[in-house]
Structure 1
Amino acid sequence: MAGSTLGNIFKITTWGESHGKALGVVVDGCPAGLPLSEEDIQKYLDRRKPGTSAITTQRKEADQVELLSGIFEGKTTGTPISLMVRNTSQISADYTEIAENYRPGHADYCFDAKYGFRDYRGGGRSSGRETIGRVAAGAIAAKILEQMGITVFAYTRSIGPVDADLTKFNRTTARSTITAMPDAEADEKACAYLQQAREACDSVGGCMECLVEGLPAGIGDPVFEKLDANLAKAIMSIGAVKAVEIGDGAEASRHTGSENNDPFRMENGKVTKISNHSGGILGGMSDGSPIIVRAYVKPTPSIFRPQQTVNRSGENTELTIRGRHDPIIVPRAVVVMECMTAITVLDAMMMNMSAKLDSLVEFYR
């Protein structure tokens, strides 16, 4: 299967299926000398693992990571880092019925159209469990960025009609609420809305937002390797994400140039901006302001009510999905967005190291 590798210098390849023996990632291009342990990775995986609250799938997985290579005496060696998480709670019998029937909103039909064959157990390769590898790799990228004073922080912006009030933004709240919202009052409203959806055997969509702070100006490229284009690709590759915005996003199309432009000013010898409608990116390159990325996520397609579909024989039929599914994807996907952003930003920074001749000469002098 093509398309499982991302990155130019900091490169990741994820592998594994939802109901296979294990899932994981190979990270190539990580510099030598980074202190790294399984605990560094685990704290990120714990944020996305299932069975942690009433609004996540009740599939019970420890998602315990194993570092298989690329580490010696607690530090990276510069060689490929292989990480693995074993599956321990598969119930493949829940998916027997969909072996012949295509689930609405899922990739079942597309897999058959492409390959003429598919792993129907839990969605196989297109399952949300594939993101284990992304998160493990992103934890490494985030730790490298921290060494340079760059932070990546994602949270839930909205769930259904419930929006977080960003005037009440609190990072600790975003890491403690089960919705990953940075506003405790919005979290309570969102949980009540989710309960209504569960009682109606339905699911809910929402919006995630990610902030990158500390990134210097000039990271990214002006044509095909634009930072915003690569962020959009990385984040759109997360299952169920249907739209990505940078800064004001779609709202910018309603504004005039005088409203949308961010005036530049000098403060303490540095170029700054009065506003940040651009979301920290101009012409495909970072402008020194915080990068703001937003992702819109569709409702979980697995809902516990009868749905019309067709089977592999081309017959109309009705399907009621069984199994253990998230009523909403967003809270567990927040850390995936954070990690995909970290991977993309780090790769862009590595590529940027050869942008200026004096930087290259100074490094090797």
Structure 2
Amino acid sequence: SGVFEGITTGTPISLMVKNTDQRPKDYSNIVDVYRPGHADFTFDEKYGLRDYRGGGRSSARETIGRVAAGAIAKKILKEFGITLLGYTRSVGPVVVDMADFDASQINENLFRMPDAEKAIEAGHYVDDIIKEGNSIGGTIECVVTGVPTGLGETVFDKLDANLAKAVMSIGAIKAVEIGAGVTVADKKGFDNNDFSRYEDGKLIKETNHAGGIIGGMSDGSPIIVRATVKPTASIHIVQPSVTKQKENHEIMIEGRHDPVIVPRAVTILEAMTALVLVDALMMNMTAKMDYLRKIYSN
């Protein structure tokens, strides 16, 4: 639906992705037990029932629709010269030094790290985590280049606010930063301000602490979005919990579970960022009368 001979027709695009590798039996021991770190308890409290065979709407499976829609959004952005690059910045204590950033390495390792040596180090670290039956979190980033100045609004539809909400809606994301993010807390104004100059008639920013967004609007610099991913909640360690019958209980989660979901979240971060930017582009078309004149004069 919505696509004919590889080209969109203008009607809504309908997509269906079938899950052919589900294992509902893996969840048989949590029918009445609330898993630590999961939304089991809150689902039951809010709705009075839950589908225990996974995380339901809180499962990462839900994001397949976002990623599919994000692929379409990226094609639209590409028409405007806007590109996105997502990658893993850290896995546990293993952090990529941006001085060693190599974009060509991102798709060459399982961790989607832009540093081959750090990816190897992360692999050894995660091996130890697996032996513990534990899990680990990390951080991911998305850098958007080619963004024109003026996307976003000044109050309720700030570009950074919309990005933060979209990224926080991804399961397992616990914090979102734009640009320098939380590191600005101990900076002085002179050190944090981004200074500009004109070079051959073009405005150049010497730094980009703001992450490409000022006053809720894009300033033409690369937009930098960073997200913190929590450790996978399902681990192969006995944990104290409670049951639906309000009894104390110990549980060890069975089945297949990723020791680290950080690299998987990179694609979702890209998708949500792309969707927000396409929305901003469409909204920006009404921001100036000359845009409307161009549309209706054709």
TM tier, shorter chain?
over 0.9
Residue 112 (structure 2) pairs with residue 191 (structure 1): no
1:70-219 aligned at under 5 Å gives the runs 70-219=2-151
Q: Which residue of 2 aligns with 1:282?
A: 214
Q: Which residue of 1 aligns with 2:287?
A: 355
Query: Which residue identity is paired with 2:284?
Result: N
Q: Deviations over 1:254-292 (max 9, x none)?
A: 111111111121122122211100000000000000001
Q: Which residue of 2 aligns with 1:336?
A: 268
Q: Deviations over 1:9-44 (max 9, x none)?
A: xxxxxxxxxxxxxxxxxxxxxxxxxxxxxxxxxxxx
Q: Which residue of 2 aligns with 1:298?
A: 230
SS, match of residue 260 in structure 2: coil
SS, match of residue 83 in structure 1: coil
SS, match of residue 196 in structure 1: helix
Report the CA distance between 1:358 and its aligned residue: 1.6
Rounded to whole Å, the distance in 1 between the matches of 2:2 and 2:245 is 48
Q: Deviations over 1:217-246 (max 9, x none)?
A: 100011010000010011111110000000
Rounded to whole Å, the distance in 2 between the matches of 1:154 and 1:122 is 27
Query: Which residue identity is paired with 1:298?
Result: K
Rounded to whole Å, the distance in 2 between the matches of 1:175 and 1:238 is 22
Rounded to whole Å, the distance in 1 between the matches of 2:139 and 2:162 is 19
Rounded to whole Å, the distance in 2 between the matches of 1:116 and 1:309 is 19
Q: CA contact under 8 A between 1:104 and 1:309: conserved in structure 2?
A: yes
> What is the TM-score when the length of structure 1 is the normalising length?
0.80
SS, match of residue 299 in structure 1: coil
Moved over 4 A (4+): none
SS, match of residue 210 in structure 1: strand
Report the CA distance between 1:91 and its aligned residue: 1.1
Query: Which residue identity is paired with 1:158?
Result: S
Rounded to whole Å, the distance in 2 between the matches of 1:96 and 1:307 is 17
Q: Which residue of 1 aligns with 2:170?
A: 238
SS, match of residue 114 in structure 2: coil
Rounded to whole Å, the distance in 1 between the matches of 2:153 and 2:70 is 22
Q: Which one has more relative contact order, counting CA pairs under 8 Å at least 6 apart?
A: 2
Structure 1: unaligned runs, 5 residues or longer: 1-68
Q: Deviations over 1:41-74 (max 9, x none)?
A: xxxxxxxxxxxxxxxxxxxxxxxxxxxx111222
Q: CA contact under 8 A between 1:272 and 1:288: conserved in structure 2?
A: no
- C-alpha root-mean-square deviation of aligned residues, in Å? 0.8
Query: Which residue identity is paired with 1:187?
Result: A
Query: Which residue identity is paired with 2:253?
Result: I
Q: Deviations over 1:117-157 (max 9, x none)?
A: 11111111211111111100000001111111100110000
Structure 2: unaligned runs, 5 residues or longer: none
SS, match of residue 43 in structure 2: helix
Identity %: 59
